[in-house]
Amino acid sequence: MALSQSERLLQLTTPLGADVLLLTSFQGRDEVSGLFEYQLSMMSDDNNIQANQIVGKDVTVRIEVPDANPRFFHGYVNSFVAGDEDREGRRNYFATMVPWMWFLTQTADCRIFQEKSIPEIMETIFQDLGFNDFETSEIKANHKQWEYCVQYRETDFAFVSRLMEQEGIHYHFRHEDGKHTLVMGDQNGAFKDLPEAEVDYPMDFGGRAMDEHITSWEHRYDFRPGKWAQTDYNFKQPSTSLMNNTNTVVDLPGIDKFEVYDYPGEYTEKSDGEDETKIRMEEEEAQHSRIFATSNCKTFSPGGKFKIGQHRCKSEAGKKYAILAIEHTANETLGYETGAGTGPDYSNSFTCIPENVVFRPARTTRKPIVQGVQTAVVTGPAGEEIYTDEFGRVKVQFHWDREGQKDENSSCWIRVSQNWAGQGWGVVFNPRIGQEVIVDFIEGDPDRPIITGRVYNAEQMPPYELPADQTKSTIKSRSSKGGGPDNFNEIRFEDKMGSEEMYIHAEKDQNTVVENDQSIVVGRDRTEEIGRDRRLQVDRDKYEEVKGRKSIHVVSSHTETIDSTMNINVGSSLTENVAVNYVENVGVAMTLNVGAALAISVGAALAQTVGGAVTEAIGAAKSETIGGNKSADVGGNASENVAGNSTTTVGKDFTETIGGRHAHTVDKEFVLNAQKIQLVAKDEICIKTGKAEIVMKKNGDISISGKKISVKGSGDVIIKGSQIKEN
């Protein structure tokens, strides 16, 4: 006789069609913030059901409830077993039924989410897998946006589970015929009243075997911590304390002495920390008071609420409870040949908490830890070479990130470890786009990367060929933007024995500021080559000592300006060679002291102009040899004192022109020796000595006076005049 489940209280709907599989037993566990799993035992006339006909497909279990709507359990088959045949040739089959969320355990990823809240991240993951049977309307709190949240080498289920656990979001499944829905919430308001809104725990079960009621009840109280404290660190507010703490509402003696302190709290704002600290405390409080009970109530399910009517303990009566977990067991094995059974044997065991206790899921899903460091490639906008924020942070593309586009959105801003970091001082070398960097993770947290180093690769090779230049060490940059291999600044060290060198290259300007002393010691030669100008400013003294020769070659002009005194001391000879003109301008006095001889040789004319007096003091002889003319122009008086003899030799004519008087004072003889002597005066000529005098006037008068006058001639003496008078 063919199998039929039309009259059975346990019924099963599958893709195989009606009555192909007959459900004989049904058991499993469902819980808040957990995946349900039900074991189905079935029988079929078809002994050749293939896995691809049912595995991965959805099925619905229906349990008839007397005087009420049937109870449905919907899910997907993730395991199917074909068992033995019985003596009638019917084959036993076994299946495991799970929610659609179970499929998230079958996919793992490495993925970055930016600027999204936890509910937004979950929606993205569910919808990317094609699942839309979920509700977020019971998530009431304002969940912060995470700047950076990483799914790292973990299943989608583990990822969303730990995110919900972290922010106190719980979930349960609501079952319907042919469908189940994931319901998420962050308050107890997500727990709704069950069809059996009030249930009794009667004093006895006489006459109530078929009524739905509670069959056992244990209320358990556990000691939990009385305080929760945690803190974190925000580098943008390094001096701001993010410490948060809260006390439990559980009233137990001495409980306030026991505190849980944790770090890091995974928040950057104190207000966020207040919310998360409260959630952590509520997580502990939710485990303080729990009821473990059994019943035959077929409509009981996680996320449902009921009220206790009668109770053996009066203190429990009238209170409301929310179911957190339940294990169902149902069997209907008799009369399968005809499909008519004697009725299912159903029972359950469940866990619940008082309705007024805020439920938070326990954090049972561990966050993945990045084991060791990774490398990544620095990224940024197209066309840029350097991309940082005000803290010197950069963005990177991780090698495991298959969704990143190697641009400015590939990661969050990541801090860069520098050799030294102070308040306005330190070392700064910004990683540039395309460079490979070493990334560590604070406490191994994939959400908290930090760059700790840089490495070369086949596309980013060292600046010098290795191992050929293995003795070279360098700090070499590249001009940006658009710089090439020839555009760089560099400090290089060559440590090859015998060729040691320190090399400094400035692509454009080099500025050195020394606020106190600077000493430079060069063991041998020093060469400076300046393409254009050089300027040197010394605010006080400058001293140069050259122990050998010093040569200065000025191709163009040479100008020196000295505001005060200038002294030049030459230990031996001083030679000045001027190819063309030589001009010296002295504003006041000029003194020239020559210890021995002074020789001035002028190839052409020599002109000397003196605005005031000229004094020459010569310790020995002075000799002037002038190949051509000599001219002396004196604006005032001229005086010449000769201690010994003075001789003037004129090769040709000697002419003196005097604007005023011309006086000669000779202590001894005054001798004029010439072939011809001519004295010409415009007015008169007077020759006088003692009482003797001869005066010749321009009118022709001549007077000779004296005490005694003698006229003597070796020849004739002729006196001729118009009149000759004698006394």
| Residue 495: per-residue pLDDT | 95
Q: DSSP 3-state assignment of 326?
A: strand
For 195-247, the three-class secondary structure string (H helix, E strand, C coil) is EEEEECCCCCCCCCCCCCCEEEEEEEECCCCCEEEECCCCCCCCCCCCCEEEE
What are the start-end ranges of the E strands in 425-500?
436-441, 449-455, 472-476, 490-494
Residue-wise pLDDT for 610-665, tens only, equals: 666 666 666 666 676 766 677 767 677 777 777 777 777 777 777 777 777 777 77
Q: What is the mean pLDDT of residues 551-571?
A: 85
Quick check: 244 and 310 in contact, CB under 8 A?
A: no
Q: What is the mean pLDDT of residues 534-560?
A: 87
| Residue 724: per-residue pLDDT | 76
CA distance 431 to 451: 9
pLDDT level of residue 727 (50, 70, 90 thresholds): low
CB crowding 79-101: b at 16 or more within 10 Å, else e? ebeeeeeeeeebbbbebbbbbbb
Does residue 343 surpass a pLDDT of 60?
no
| Residue 335: per-residue pLDDT | 60
Q: What are phi and psi of 207, to 5 degrees?
A: 75, 5
Does residue 603 surpass a pLDDT of 90?
no
Quick check: 584 and 591 in contact, CB under 8 A?
A: no
| Residue 1: per-residue pLDDT | 60
Q: Closest by alpha carbon to 503, among 485, 516, 490?
A: 490
Does residue 568 surpass a pLDDT of 70?
yes
User: What ranges do the domains of the chain cover?
Assistant: 227-285, 369-461, 472-504
**What is the arrangement of strands in the sheet containing 415-416, beginning at the earlier edge strand?**
395-398, 374-379, 436-441, 449-455, 415-416
Residue-wise pLDDT for 482-522, tens only, equals: 989 999 999 999 999 999 999 999 999 999 999 999 999 99
| Residue 660: per-residue pLDDT | 74
Q: Closest by alpha carbon to 451, among 431, 478, 432, 469?
A: 431
Quote the tokens at residue 98: 């799970």
Return the percent helix, strand and coil in the chain, to nearest 5: 10, 30, 65
Quote the tokens at residue 702: 């001549």
* Chain Cα centroid distance, residue 152: 25
| Residue 436: per-residue pLDDT | 97
Q: What is the mean pLDDT of residues 157-161?
A: 98
Q: Do the strands 259-262 and 227-230 form a parallel or antiparallel pair, or are they unpaired?
A: parallel
| Residue 49: per-residue pLDDT | 94
**What letter does residue 34 receive in the DSSP assignment?**
S
Residue-wise pLDDT for 23-52, tens only, equals: 999 999 999 999 999 999 999 999 999 999
Q: What are phi and psi of 429, to 5 degrees?
A: -130, 105
| Residue 670: per-residue pLDDT | 76
Q: Closest by alpha carbon to 439, among 393, 484, 488?
A: 393
| Residue 608: per-residue pLDDT | 66
Residue-wise pLDDT for 448-477, tens only, equals: 999 999 999 999 999 999 999 999 999 999
Q: What is the mean pLDDT of residues 599-618?
A: 67
CATH superfamily of 369-461: Gp5 N-terminal domain (2.40.50.230)
Residue-wise pLDDT for 192-242, tens only, equals: 999 988 999 987 755 555 578 999 999 999 999 999 999 999 999 999 999
* Chain Cα centroid distance, residue 2: 76
| Residue 680: per-residue pLDDT | 81
| Residue 644: per-residue pLDDT | 74
Residue-wise pLDDT for 356-369, tens only, equals: 999 999 999 999 99
Quick check: 202 and 310 in contact, CB under 8 A?
A: yes
CA distance 176 to 255: 44
* pLDDT averaged over every residue in the chain: 89
Give 307's contacts (C-beta < 8 A, 6+ positions apart): 197, 198, 199, 318, 319, 320, 321
Q: DSSP 3-state assignment of 183?
A: strand
Identity of the amino acid at 212: E
Residue-wise pLDDT for 525-538, tens only, equals: 988 888 888 888 89
- Choice among 129-133, 445-449, 585-589 with the minimum mean pLDDT: 585-589
Quote the tokens at residue 607: 């002109």
Q: What are phi and psi of 627, to 5 degrees?
A: -70, -25
- Note the residue count of the chain: 727
Share of the chain above pLDDT 90, in %: 63
CA distance 181 to 173: 5
